[in-house]
Amino acid sequence: MCSNVEVSYDGHVAVVKMNRSPSNAFNQEFVDEFNEVVAQLADNGEARVVVITSSVSRFFATGADIKLIFGMDVKKVLSGLTKMFNAIQHMPKPVIAMIKGHALGGGCELSLACDFRFMEKGPATIGLPEVNLGIISAAGGTQRMSRLLGRGKATELLFEGRQIGAQEALEIGLIHKCFESEDLEAKTLEYAHQLSKQAPIAIRLIKKCLNDGMDDKIEKGLEVEREALFAALQTEDAKEGVRSYLEKRHPIFKGR
């Protein structure tokens, strides 16, 4: 078992827990372990949904270890972080960030690479405060936040380096849902299990369409969608989906 990253399974849901006290700050060892876990989960057919969370009190993650930032090989750590976040974004299955505690800097960037962000209410905050240190987020933060929120709101948060709570994050679309702390895990896993019952191939193709088409011209996106639909139509899951609809029952998808 990895010392900084722990993985457990609840049916078709894989739960990844970051476990580097005191705040899940990223160093090279942490990043290398996380990249290994992400690669394994991407190829794991039994894991249909991935939940990323923290087992450290008060923190989801805080990004690069500031205590070591001038002593570490920043380019190497940044390269590893970028690889990790890109792999999460392109993982062929849904990824949910279950944000317990503060998600700052690279922790916020990690959540932005996920498909969903669920956050606990209370004192926890989320944001990209690097400008307050005279630096910037550089593992996709400026790019993913601006694509998610639009340039105007992203500019405001990035320039101000402001950390916001769950309610404001929900209102501006930075997170999808917020729950009371005691309900966060149960509600997140409930949603993850619902997603795990969807057709895995169709989910993978939808995610490919979103990733491949969002940054290109609409014609390219439509082409990607068409190709994905043709591929989906060849699967047993598609046949089961149509058949179950006609028979007025819940489908049983097998990922074939």
pLDDT per position as a tens digit, 201-212: 999 999 999 988
Q: What is the pLDDT of residues 58-111, one digit of tens each?
A: 999 997 776 666 666 777 887 888 889 999 999 999 999 999 999 999 999 999
Catalytic annotation present for 130:
yes
**CA atoms within 13 A of residue 221's CA, in its CB half-sphere:** 10
Domains and CATH numbers, the chain: 5-196 (3.90.226.10), 200-246 (1.10.12)
Catalytic residue among 29, 33, 109, 185: 109
pLDDT at 39: 95
Catalytic annotation present for 29:
no
Amino acid at 33: E
Catalytic residue among 130, 168, 185, 190: 130
DSSP symbol at 99: E
Q: What is the pTM of this model?
A: 0.87
pLDDT at 69: 63
Task: Write the DSSP string, 216-230.
Answer: S-HHHHHHHHHHHHH
**pLDDT over 80 (residue 25):** yes
Q: Are strands 13-18 and 59-61 parallel, antiparallel or unpaired?
A: unpaired
Q: What is the pLDDT of residues 119-172, one digit of tens each?
A: 999 999 999 988 887 788 878 888 889 889 999 999 999 999 999 999 999 999
